Amino acid sequence: MTRIFSGVKPTGHLTLGNYLGAVRRWAETDQHRADALFCVVDLHALTVEHDPARVRRLSRQAATLLLAAGLDPAVCTVFVQSHVDEHARLSFVLECTATDGEMRRMIQYKEKSARARAAGESVRLSLLTYPALMAADILAYGADEVPVGDDQTQHVELTRDLAVRFNQRYGHTFVVPKATQPQVAARVMDLQDPTSKMGKSHAATAGIVYLLDEPDVVRKKIMRAVTDSGREVEYDREEKPGVANLLDVLAACEGGNPEELAGAYESYGALKKDTAEAVVELLRPVRERHAELAADPGYVDKVLREGAERARGMARPTVDAAYRAIGLLPTG
Helix (H) or strand (E) holding 37: strand 35-40
Report CA 185 to chain centroid distance, whole Å. 13
Cα–Cα distance for residue pair 14/66, rounded to 1 Å: 10
Instruction: Give the residue closest to ligand TYM by C-beta.
Output: 21
Q: Which of 197, 221, 240, 272 is catalytic?
A: 197
Quick one: 19 or 235, whose CB is closer to ligand TYM? 19
Give min distance, CB of 146 to ligand TYM, in A. 5
Q: Which of 9, 112, 240, 272 is catalytic?
A: 112
Quick one: 27 or 148, whose CB is closer to ligand TYM? 148
Burial of 86 (0-12, 13-18, 19+ CB in 10 A): buried
Q: Which of 9, 200, 221, 272 is catalytic?
A: 200
Cα–Cα distance for residue pair 15/188, rounded to 1 Å: 10
Q: Which parts of this chain interact with ligand TYM (CB under 6 A)?
A: 5-9, 17-18, 20-22, 41, 44, 134, 137-138, 146, 148-149, 151-152, 155, 186-188, 197-198
Give min distance, CB of 267 to ligand TYM, in A. 26
Measure the CA angle with vertex 130, ends 125 and 133; round to 5°: 125
Active site residue 197: yes
Burial of 139 (0-12, 13-18, 19+ CB in 10 A): buried
DSSP state of 244: H
Assess contact for 150 and 188: CB atoms under 8 A: no
Assess contact for 207 and 220: CB atoms under 8 A: no
Instruction: Say whether 105 sits in a helix, a strand or coil.
Output: coil
Helix (H) or strand (E) holding 3: strand 3-8
Active site residue 112: yes
Quick one: 26 or 268, whose CB is closer to ligand TYM? 26
Query: Minimal CA–CA distance to 201: which of 7, 15, 61?
Result: 15
Give min distance, CB of 327 to ligand TYM, in A. 26
Q: Percentages helix, strand, coil for the chain, rounded to the nearest 5?
A: 60, 10, 35
Quick one: 164 or 270, whose CB is closer to ligand TYM? 164
Quick one: 44 or 219, whose CB is closer to ligand TYM? 44
Angle between the N-to-C axes of helices 297-326 and 52-68, in degrees from 0 to 180, rounded to the nearest 10: 100
Quick one: 188 or 261, whose CB is closer to ligand TYM? 188
Give min distance, CB of 272 to ligand TYM, in A. 18
Active site residue 220: no
Cα–Cα distance for residue pair 62/26, rounded to 1 Å: 14
Quick one: 40 or 276, whose CB is closer to ligand TYM? 40
Give min distance, CB of 284 to ligand TYM, in A. 20
Residues recognised as catalytic: 112, 197, 200
